[in-house]
Each structure stands twice: as C-alpha cells, then as structure tokens.
Structure 1
Amino acid sequence: MKTMRRAIGAGIFLLALATQAAAQQTAIFPKGEIATVDNHTGTVWLKELSEADSVFAYSIATATFAPGAKLDWHIHPAGQILLITEGIGYYQERGKPRQTVKKGQVIKCQPGVEHWHGAAPKSTFAYLATTPTQKGKTVWLKRVTAAEYQGGR
C-alpha cells in the first residue's frame, strides 16, 4: 500500500511539474498573423500590440520566427529595442560578427545602424520590439546571404 501511495504521489508530482512547464511555455501575447511583406526569409508571425500615436511616439510589436527564418538587412532611423522572449536567434550589425541571442536578453539596435535578426536553424525565436517612430519607418535593404546567416561577414 505504501509503495502504491508513493507511486501515485510521484505521478502527481510529475504531472504538476509538467503542468508548470507547459504554463511557462504559454505566450503572454498572441502570435499574430504570418507576415506577407517581402522583407524576410522563412515564416515570421507579427502582431502589432500598440501603434505609435500623437502621445506615444513608438510602437510595440511581437515577432515570432520559425526555425531558420530571418529578416532582411534593415535600418531603424531612431533605433529599436528587442526583448527576447523565446528561443535562440541571431543578431548582426553590418561589419561586426554575428551574435547568438537567447530568451531573456535585451538587444539595443542603434539608430541608423544596418543590421538583421532572426531564428537559429533549429530553434523558434520571438521578441517584443519597441520602435521609436519620430524619425521615420524601418528602411529595408537586401536579403541576408547564406554565408552571413552562417556567421560570415
């Protein structure tokens, strides 16, 4: 009888752990819609959470990337801050080495600096982005090459 109670107790404990782990995997914000614009490679979901207006001159959005998906090279005239919320991804500024970024990190994309970001080959990747809009919208440039994605410059 004691063995059976221990087994049931252990099972309940494992179920509680699994439930807790699943709860921690639940996204705070909706994933959004698959992006249909031609400024990325792979599947990217976008959701605008708060658009800039006359009081708040910045937008807040969430982006979720399928493994291997990435944005093209681009510039934010007033900069951007990325709060990494899921997975493993890459961030690279023009002329600098590619960086690996992970859940919990904060990336400051400097104003006017050409860069790209996206998911690692075997991981999803998501972030919250806050983007000041007073100096204009994102300027999209060329595709990231396979060599750049793999860590070359």
Structure 2
Amino acid sequence: MAKNEEVVKNSVFGFGDANDAYAKYFIGKSYLKGLASSDAAKTNVSNVTFEPGCRNNWHEHENVQILIAVAGEGWYQEEGKPARKLEPGDVVIVDPNTKHWHGATKDSWFAHLAIMSGEGKTTWYGPVSDEEYNKLK
C-alpha cells in the first residue's frame, strides 16, 4: 500500500469517483467528490484525490481558487516559482489568471479541497513533464 493511502481513502470528505471527465488534463488517476455548490454565490467546493505521482496539467482559472490540503502529501507550483510541498492544513490561494499545477508527491496519495469562486473558465495547457516532476524533493 502506498504512503497515506488508507488516510486519504477514508477522509471525512469522502473519496469520490474516478475523475474521468478531466482525465485528459491529468497524468495519473484522480478522483472527484463534489461537496457543496451554490448557484447564488457561484461557488463550488470539491474534494480532489490524487494517486501517488498524479498531477494535473498546467492551467489557470479566470477567478480565485482556494486549495486546502486535507490528507497525504502533495505539490503546488506557480509558473516561474519553486514548487511548494503541501501537507494537511496547508492553504493556497491561487489568484485569477495564475498559471499553476498541483498533485501528489511520487510516493504518497494526496487530497485537497478545491474551492472555486465565480463562473470563470479554466484554460488548460500542457502537462508537467516527468523531468520537471522528478526533480522535486
């Protein structure tokens, strides 16, 4: 069993279903569990789970995104900045139109809450290369 698998799969926020709708934007397998949404507030809250080594492609959102690490170990990186290791309790506020990616470390499952404000679109770019990813310590 990979590091933190049991903790992540038994999270109080739930494990979710295979994130097949967005699979083309990920290296590895991710899972998505919708937690809350409000049409009036135009806000969505989801628990996103990543298997070890899974990460999403570089992307940006038109509106603010908030990531709250809830289980396991992961990474967050903005373009042009060093990657930041995430552990439960860490919070990242992603400003609008900031190119970034996030995902699990190589040897650990990872889960974060993703809070999206507004109805802005997400623009997807290419994947984080294995070369870039494997350099992270």
TM bucket, shorter chain: 0.7 to 0.9
Q: Write out aligned runs for 1:24-39 (5 A).
A: 26-36=10-20, 37=22, 38-39=24-25
Q: Which segments of structure 1 move beyond 2 Å, counting only runs of 4 or more?
A: none
CA shift at 1:87, angstroms?
0.8
* Alignment partner of 1:41 out of 27, 32, 36: 27
Distance 1:86 1:30 in 2: 11
CA shift at 1:98, angstroms?
1.1
Q: Give 2:124's aligned residue.
A: 140
Structure 1 gaps of 5+ residues are 1-21
Name whichever structure is richer in helix by fraction. Answer: 1
% same residue: 35
Name whichever structure is richer in strand by fraction. Answer: 2
Distance 1:106 1:95 in 2: 20
Q: C-alpha deviations, 1:81-126, integer Å up to 9, x for none?
A: 0110001111110011111111111011111000000000000100
Query: Are the aligned partners of 1:52 and 1:133 in contact in 2 as well (CA < 8 Å)?
Result: no
Number of aligned positions between the proteins: 128
Q: Write out aligned runs for 1:1-153 (5 A).
A: 26-36=10-20, 37=22, 38-53=24-39, 55-134=40-119, 136-151=120-135
Distance 1:94 1:148 in 2: 12
CA shift at 1:35, angstroms?
1.1
Q: Give 1:18's aligned residue.
A: none
Instruction: Supply the AA of the counterpart residue of 1:30.
Output: G
SS at 2:73 equivalent: strand
TM-score normalised to the size of structure 1? 0.77
Query: Are the aligned partners of 2:64 and 2:95 in contact in 1 as well (CA < 8 Å)?
Result: yes
Distance 2:25 2:86 in 1: 21
Distance 1:117 1:30 in 2: 19
Larger radius of gyration between Structure 1 and Structure 2? 1
Instruction: Supply the AA of the counterpart residue of 2:128.
Output: V
Distance 1:97 1:106 in 2: 16
Identify the structure with bigger relative contact order (alpha carbons < 8 Å, sequence gap 6+): 2
Structure 2 gaps of 5+ residues are 1-5
Query: Are the aligned partners of 2:51 and 2:109 in contact in 1 as well (CA < 8 Å)?
Result: yes
